[in-house]
Amino acid sequence: MLFDLIRWALANDRFRRGFVAPALRFEILQLALTPFRATRAERLLAEAGLRLSLRAFEGREAVIYTSLFTPPELLHALGVVPFGLEAAGAGVAALGLAPQALAAAERAWAPVDACSILRAGLGVAYLGLLPRPQAVVATSSLCDSTPKVMAAAARLYGAPFFLLDVPYEATPPALAYLAGQLEDLTGSLAAIAGRAPDPARLTEAVRLSNEARGHLDRLTAQRVACPGVLPPGDGQGFLYPINLLLGSPAGATVFRAFAEEAAGRAQRPLPHVRGPRVLLLHVLPYFRHHILDTLQAAGACVVFEEMSQVYWPEMDPSQPYLGLARRCIAHFDNGPLERRTEAVLELARRFAVDGALHFSPHGCRQSWGALQVLRDALAAAGMPLLELEGDCVDARGCPEGQQRTRLMAFVEALGQRTGEGNRATDERR
Amino acid sequence: MNTNRAKSLSPLTLALSPIGERARVRGDPAAWRAPRPALVAGVDVGSVSAEAVLLQAGHVVAQSTLPTGANSRAAGEEVLRRALEQAGARLAEVAMVVATGYGRMAVDAAQKKVTEITCHARGAGHHFPDAATVIDIGGQDSKVIRLDARGAVSDFVMNDRCAAGTGRFLEVMSRALDVPLDRLGELSLRARRAAPVSSMCTVFAESEVVSLVAEGVPVVEIIAGLHAAVAERIWGMAQRLGLAPRVVMSGGVAYNEGVVRALEQRLGAALAVAPQPHMVGALGAALIAADLVGQGK
């Protein structure tokens, strides 16, 4: 009923423009009034996301659209609001509004076989539901579609578009090249926002980013010792704070809260992790899905998520551009596929996993391209990989029955290998 | 359960329980010293048909099959009832029921639900202990399963969401050609060449078949072309896992000799077709049930 009302309001020109900011305020209020619905860390993360979105929709500050891997520290230091177009696509999916957003993108000639999270983000922009950006920034890392979709969004709003050309290797010239781009970008965005770059604020943003990184690192170490300190698959949600909150006080607060909660849980007797241990690779659908529940019901335990790993070194606050450049280049999805493969194998070893699950969203060519290499590398290390395909924003493109059978069969096979197959076969609850 | 304990049961319990029945019918306390081997069942509710197998001491004592129809719950119940009737047994006498197939969750009598991947691997491995690859083409999906040296599933791939390369694909084509499904295999073997069927989408392939008929291409060649298209699809899946002999084929489509020949040609390997290939999933489920009973689970 509520969703029907939201859909009606969003489909109505008179209502939709003024709809989002009040809805976000209502959500923040509801979050404060219902503390029992989530842990403190989860509420802090949700609130940070809602407040950042609210700032964007209120329109009092300059809004900069960013793609994944654009360093948010630069934007927090400038006092402008980073707004992730992919995050908007994910949000639309979580609200169950992806079909409308995808249809809007299709009407605007977005190719239907392109990444659906980008299409959903672009579609919701075409629907006129997003805040107007003063500039759009994308990186060349990982995905060819992202810069093109971000450029399309820039054209839609008549905003300047900036592309960060991220080199593959962290050689001194490559680092200097990217650091120079980041410095130039800061100058350009400062001019657009009508502010002067403030080196002290950038230093502080890098310090906060390092603090957040430290907490995430601590949390990861706790998860190695005891995977149960974080609910299975929750680390998948760190994609948002890593890409939009690093460099802000909220980013440090959120990761501190998660690490503290994990430390608290580690003090209590936790249920022993039983069943085959699974590593999640890439992403999961952004709408309410069954995958984690199915794995758990089958008796498997998700012990870590590729996207929540700390892949970057601590940065030197006195050389912020160089540190941020190093982080951009160090991303496991940037550069040759061997980098990601090694990172996955290292995680598999560190978390002693029995197998890996790779959800491959339709249209995500970079993840499909990596599959066979990852599969072979894991097989050589004695770990099978299940590839599960589907749409990551539109539930209509995720056939649940077929996915359940694949997941159950995967856990059954892992159970036979590890001698823990009995729970895997028992679906009766 | 020992004799003394059986004797100590109340008449009501003896009348209602399977233990009671055995004690009452046999009436001989010695029967409890050498208990009858446990009866176990496997039920496979697929998209096209449902099968049930009853096993006792590793031997099939009864089996049944029927079309699934629109109600997989009713099909699962009925196919099991028929097998029990054939064996002259009651459900309460079955120590363990394992259900498999896409309708496995609807089999209320089952204590365990196991995927068809695991069950086909177990069933095929029972017939051919040296099986290393299992190709199962059922009504709704097709799968290639790799087995390790112990016969356990080491990897698998399934067809994607469309019906291409499945029994349903052949069923649609048989209707388009007005040829009974069970004659497709025999007819295709008469073809001197296979007509090219370029599309593997069931809907597009159907219109392609209609066009070929209109062009006057012999029906046997069209059928051979369809079988080659199915074989191409399965070959693509097998390539992803790597094919290791011995390759066993299970599932109802294995009755189609034309598909088997086309697959052998495309894979470059001989296929060992499981006896009663449509029963392999149910047999595997029954064998798993026997394993679990043997483990005391």
Residue A419 — left, alpha, or beta (φ > 0 → left; ψ -120 to 50 → alpha)? left
pLDDT range class, residue A142, cuts 50, 70, 90: confident
For residue A175, is pLDDT > 80? yes
Question: For B144-154, what is each residue's pLDDT tens digit?
Answer: 999 999 999 99
Say if residue B107 is in the same domain as residue B170: no
Closest-CA distance, B23 to chain A, in angstroms, reads 31
Of A379, A412, A428, the CB nearest to B115: A412
Exposure string over B275-292, b if 16+ CB within 10 A, otherwise e: ebbbbbbbbbbbbbbbeb
Per-residue model confidence (pLDDT) at position B169: 86
Share of chain B above pLDDT 70, in %: 86
Per-residue model confidence (pLDDT) at position A198: 94
Say if residue B241 is in the same domain as residue B140: yes
Per-residue model confidence (pLDDT) at position A427: 38
Decide if B288 and A384 are in contact by the 8 Å CB cutoff: no
Decide if A425 and B288 are in contact by the 8 Å CB cutoff: yes
Per-residue model confidence (pLDDT) at position B132: 97
d(CA B135, CA B273): 10
CB contact A429 to B (< 8 Å): no
Question: For B197-240, what is each residue's pLDDT tens digit?
Answer: 876 677 778 888 888 988 999 999 999 999 998 999 899 999 98
Preceding omega of B240 cis (within 30 degrees of 0) = no
**Which chain B residues are Cβ-neighbours of A408 within 8 angstroms?**
115
Bridge pairing between strands B49-56 and A63-66 = unpaired
Say if residue B79 is in the same domain as residue B187: no
The average pLDDT across A177-183 equals: 98
* Residues of chain B in Cβ contact (below 8 Å) with chain A: 98, 102, 105, 110-118, 141, 150, 152-156, 158, 160-161, 288, 292, 297
Decide if B113 and A427 are in contact by the 8 Å CB cutoff: yes
Per-residue model confidence (pLDDT) at position B30: 47
Decide if B117 and A413 are in contact by the 8 Å CB cutoff: yes
Contact status, residue B122 vs residue B133, Cβ threshold 8 Å: no
Closest-CA distance, B171 to chain A, in angstroms, reads 21
- What's the number of CA atoms in the CB half-sphere (13 Å) around residue B203? 1
Per-residue model confidence (pLDDT) at position B27: 44
Residue by residue, DSSP assigns A108-158 as TT--TTS-HHHHHHHHHHHTT-SPPPSEEEEE-SS-SHHHHHHHHHHHHHT
The average pLDDT across A305-310 equals: 96
Decide if B156 and A422 are in contact by the 8 Å CB cutoff: no
For residue B173, is pLDDT > 80? yes
For residue B275, is pLDDT > 80? yes
User: Tokens for B206?
Assistant: 């159907």
Per-residue model confidence (pLDDT) at position B26: 42
Decide if B113 and A412 are in contact by the 8 Å CB cutoff: no
d(CA B202, CA B209): 10
Decide if B115 and A408 are in contact by the 8 Å CB cutoff: yes
The one-character DSSP state at B48 is: S
Q: What residues are paired with B45 via a beta bridge?
A: B50
Sign of CA dihedral A51, A57, A63, A68: positive
Residue B62's φ and ψ, nearest 5 degrees, are -165, 155
Per-residue model confidence (pLDDT) at position A32: 85
Say if residue B118 is in the same domain as residue B67: yes
CB contact A388 to B (< 8 Å): no
d(CA A181, CA A198): 17
d(CA A427, CA A310): 35
- Report which secondary-structure segment, H or E, holds A293: helix A291-298
Say if residue B287 is in the same domain as residue B260: no
Decide if B152 and A417 are in contact by the 8 Å CB cutoff: yes
Cα dist. A166→A182, A330, B19, B173 in Å? 10, 10, 74, 52
Picking from B211, B233, B216, B219, the residue whose alpha carbon sits closest to that of residue B164 is B233
**Which chain B residues are Cβ-neighbours of A416 within 8 angstroms?**
118, 150, 152-153
Sign of CA dihedral B280, B150, B113, A396: negative
Decide if A389 and B160 are in contact by the 8 Å CB cutoff: yes
Interface of A with B in 223-242 (CB under 8 A): none
The average pLDDT across B166-185 equals: 89
Residue A271 — left, alpha, or beta (φ > 0 → left; ψ -120 to 50 → alpha)? beta
Per-residue model confidence (pLDDT) at position A369: 87
Taking residue A14's Cβ as centre, other Cβ atoms within 10 Å add up to 8
Picking from A174, A168, A160, the residue whose alpha carbon sits closest to that of residue A141 is A168
Decide if A409 and B155 are in contact by the 8 Å CB cutoff: no
User: Tokens for A398?
Assistant: 């995720």
Decide if A428 and B111 are in contact by the 8 Å CB cutoff: yes
Chain B residue closest to A423 (CA)? Answer: B112
Closest-CA distance, A271 to chain B, in angstroms, reads 23
For residue A118, is pLDDT > 70? yes
Which of A308-317, B206-215, B287-296 shows the highest mean pLDDT? A308-317
Exposure string over B64-96, b if 16+ CB within 10 A, otherwise e: bbeebeeebeebbbbbbebbbeebebeeebbbb
Q: What residues are paired with B274 via a beta bridge?
A: none
Say if residue B266 is in the same domain as residue B149: yes
Per the model's pLDDT, the better-predicted residue between A277 and A36 turns out to be A277
Closest-CA distance, B81 to chain A, in angstroms, reads 21
Say if residue B172 is in the same domain as residue B234: yes
Of B118, B150, B297, the CB nearest to A409: B118
Say if residue B188 is in the same domain as residue B236: yes
Dmax (CA) of chain B: 80
pLDDT range class, residue A34, cuts 50, 70, 90: confident
Closest-CA distance, A361 to chain B, in angstroms, reads 13
Closest-CA distance, A173 to chain B, in angstroms, reads 41
Say if residue B5 is in the same domain as residue B111: no
Say if residue B144 is in the same domain as residue B259: yes
Per-residue model confidence (pLDDT) at position B4: 37
Decide if A428 and B113 are in contact by the 8 Å CB cutoff: yes
CA angle B228, B230, B232 (to 5 degrees): 70
CB contact A419 to B (< 8 Å): no
Share of chain A above pLDDT 70, in %: 93
Contact status, residue A357 vs residue A280, Cβ threshold 8 Å: yes
Question: For A124-141, what is each residue's pLDDT tens digit?
Answer: 999 888 999 999 999 998
Q: Which of A280-294, B207-221, B273-287 has the lowest mean pLDDT?
A: B207-221
**Which chain A residues are Cβ-neighbours of B154 within 8 angstroms?**
384, 413, 417
CA angle A39, A43, A47 (to 5 degrees): 175
Picking from B43, B166, B178, the residue whose alpha carbon sits closest to that of residue B104 is B43
Of B112, B113, B154, the CB nearest to A384: B154
The average pLDDT across A12-31 equals: 76
Chain B residue closest to A404 (CA)? Answer: B115
- Helices of type H across B190-256: 202-214, 219-241
For residue B108, is pLDDT > 60? yes
pLDDT range class, residue A6, cuts 50, 70, 90: low
CB contact A30 to B (< 8 Å): no
Contact status, residue B39 vs residue B30, Cβ threshold 8 Å: no
Question: For A332-372, what is each residue's pLDDT tens digit?
Answer: 999 999 999 999 999 999 999 999 999 999 889 888 889 99
Chain B residue closest to A389 (CA)? Answer: B160
d(CA A381, CA A22): 52
For residue A223, is pLDDT > 50? yes
Say if residue B30 is in the same domain as residue B100: no
Closest-CA distance, B147 to chain A, in angstroms, reads 10
Q: What residues are paired with B67 via a beta bridge?
A: B49
Residue by residue, DSSP assigns B175-197 as HHHT--GGGHHHHHTT-SSPPP-
Q: Which of A8-12, A410-414, B132-136 has the lowest mean pLDDT?
A: A8-12
Decide if B153 and A413 are in contact by the 8 Å CB cutoff: yes
**CATH number for B180:** 3.30.420.40
Of A384, A405, A426, the CB nearest to B115: A405
The average pLDDT across A263-287 equals: 87
- Average pLDDT value over all residues in chain A: 90
Closest-CA distance, A279 to chain B, in angstroms, reads 17
Per-residue model confidence (pLDDT) at position A9: 66
Decide if B112 and A425 are in contact by the 8 Å CB cutoff: yes
CA dihedral angle for residue A215, residue A221, residue A222, residue A225, rounded to 10 degrees: 180
Question: For B12-29, what is each residue's pLDDT tens digit?
Answer: 443 344 343 333 334 444
Per-residue model confidence (pLDDT) at position B161: 63
Say if residue B181 is in the same domain as residue B66: no
Count of the separate structural domains present in chain B = 3
CA angle B34, B39, B43 (to 5 degrees): 170
Picking from B250, B245, B233, B230, the residue whose alpha carbon sits closest to that of residue B51 is B250
Decide if A409 and B115 are in contact by the 8 Å CB cutoff: yes
Query: In which residue are the tokens 């990852």 written?
Result: A374
Contact status, residue A390 vs residue A291, Cβ threshold 8 Å: no
List the domain range (segments joined by +) for residue B61: 39-122+280-294
Of B105, B150, B156, the CB nearest to A409: B156
Q: How many CB pairs under 8 A join A and B?
A: 57
pLDDT range class, residue B73, cuts 50, 70, 90: very high
